[in-house]
C-alpha cells in the first residue's frame, strides 16, 4: 500500500514540477504563469502529448517537434526532482495518514509547497546567479508561519512559538550577512542571507546548522571538482550557494539530522 501511494505522490510531483518549470522560466518576464506552453525557439504551441512530464522529453529526443531546436535538460530534471521531493515527504509523513487523513494533508501540502518553492529558488539561482527578493520573502513568510502551525514539523497544532524559535531565522542569517559584508559580496551574496532567515525558521537552530554543514560539505566537493576541471579544460564558473543550502536543508528536514544539540 505504501509503495503504491508513494508512486502516486511521485507522479503528482512530476505534474507539479512541470508547472514549476513554467514559473522558473517566466519569472521576471512580462509573461504570466497561465496559458499554453510553447517552444522557446519557434513559439509553436505544444500539444498535450508534448507536455507529459519527463516522458515527452525523451519521446521527442530532447528536441522540439516543429523546429528541432534542443529542449533544455532543466525540464525533466526539475520534474524528477519535484517527484522525488513529493515521494520522500510522503514517506516521511505517511504514518500520520493512517491515523487522520486531514492531519496528514495539512502538513504534507504545506511542506511540499515550501520545498517546491525552495526548488524554484535553487534552479533560478543556478540560471541567473541571483535569488529574487520576492521568492525569499514568500519563503520566509511561509517558514515563519510554520512556527505557529506545526509542532516538530509533523503535527498541526496552532500555538504561540517560543522566542528562541522566532529569533532563530535572524540569528542563522547573521553569519551569512557578515560574510557578505566583509567580502563585499565576493564570497557570498546577500540573497543567501535572506534565504537563511527562512531556513532558520523552517528548521530551527539544531537542524538548520546541520543543514548548513551539509551545504558547505557539498559546496566544497563541487568546488574542488570545478577547480580541477577549470585548470584542465579552462572552465570558468561562479558557484551559487543557494542550491547547496536547499539540499542541506532538505536532507536535514527529511532525515531529522542534528549534528548539534541546542
On the question of pLDDT at 39 being above 90, the answer is no
For 106-135, how does the pLDDT look when each residue is reduced to its tens digit (9 = 90+)?
Answer: 999 999 999 999 999 999 999 999 999 999
- What does each C-alpha distance from 186 to 40, 60, 129, 189, 241 come to in angstroms? 33, 41, 13, 7, 12
Higher pLDDT, 45 or 151: 151
- Claim: this prediction has a pTM higher than 0.75: yes
Q: Determine the pLDDT at residue 118.
A: 97
On the question of pLDDT at 139 being above 80, the answer is yes
Report, as an integer, the average pLDDT of 37-63.
84
**Lowest mean pLDDT segment, chosen from 40-49, 64-73, 130-139, 176-185:** 40-49
For 202-260, how does the pLDDT look when each residue is reduced to its tens digit (9 = 90+)?
Answer: 999 889 999 999 999 999 888 888 777 665 555 556 778 999 999 999 999 999 998 87
On the question of pLDDT at 104 being above 60, the answer is yes
Q: Determine the pLDDT at residue 149.
A: 96
CA distance 24 to 117: 10
- Ordered by start, the domain boundaries in the chain are 1-97, 100-262
Q: Determine the pLDDT at residue 262.
A: 58
CA distance 95 to 248: 24
Q: Are 189 and 130 in contact (CB under 8 A)?
A: yes
* Residue that is written with C-alpha cell 496552532 in the block: 158
* Length, in residues, of the chain: 262
Amino acid at each position: 500500500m505504501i509503495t503504491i501511494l508513494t508512486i502516486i505522490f511521485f507522479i503528482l510531483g512530476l505534474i507539479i514540477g512541470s508547472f514549476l518549470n513554467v514559473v522558473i522560466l517566466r519569472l521576471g518576464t512580462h509573461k504570466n504563469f497561465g496559458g499554453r506552453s510553447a517552444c522557446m525557439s519557434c513559439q509553436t504551441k505544444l500539444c498535450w502529448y508534448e507536455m507529459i512530464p519527463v516522458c515527452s522529453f525523451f519521446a521527442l529526443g530532447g528536441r522540439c517537434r516543429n523546429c528541432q531546436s534542443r529542449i533544455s535538460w532543466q525540464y525533466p530534471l526539475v520534474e524528477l526532482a519535484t517527484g522525488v521531493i513529493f515521494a520522500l515527504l510522503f514517506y516521511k509523513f505517511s504514518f500520520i495518514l493512517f491515523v487522520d487523513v486531514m492531519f496528514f494533508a495539512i502538513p504534507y501540502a504545506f511542506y511540499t509547497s515550501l520545498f517546491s518553492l525552495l526548488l524554484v529558488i535553487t534552479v533560478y539561482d543556478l540560471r541567473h546567479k541571483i535569488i529574487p527578493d520576492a521568492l525569499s520573502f514568500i519563503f520566509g513568510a511561509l517558514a515563519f508561519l510554520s512556527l505557529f502551525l506545526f509542532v516538530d514539523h509533523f503535527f498541526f497544532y496552532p500555538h504561540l512559538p517560543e522566542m528562541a524559535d522566532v529569533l532563530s531565522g535572524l540569528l542563522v542569517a547573521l553569519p551569512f550577512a557578515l560574510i557578505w559584508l566583509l567580502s563585499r559580496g565576493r564570497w557570498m551574496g546577500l540573497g543567501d542571507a535572506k534565504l537563511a532567515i527562512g531556513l532558520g525558521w523552517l528548521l530551527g537552530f539544531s537542524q538548520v546548522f546541520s543543514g548548513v554543514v551539509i551545504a558547505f560539505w557539498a559546496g566544497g566537493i563541487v568546488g574542488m571538482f570545478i577547480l580541477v576541471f577549470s585548470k584542465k579544460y579552462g572552465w570558468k564558473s561562479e558557484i551559487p550557494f543557494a542550491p547547496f543550502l536547499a539540499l542541506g536543508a532538505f536532507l536535514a528536514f527529511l532525515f531529522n539530522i542534528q549534528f548539534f544539540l541546542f
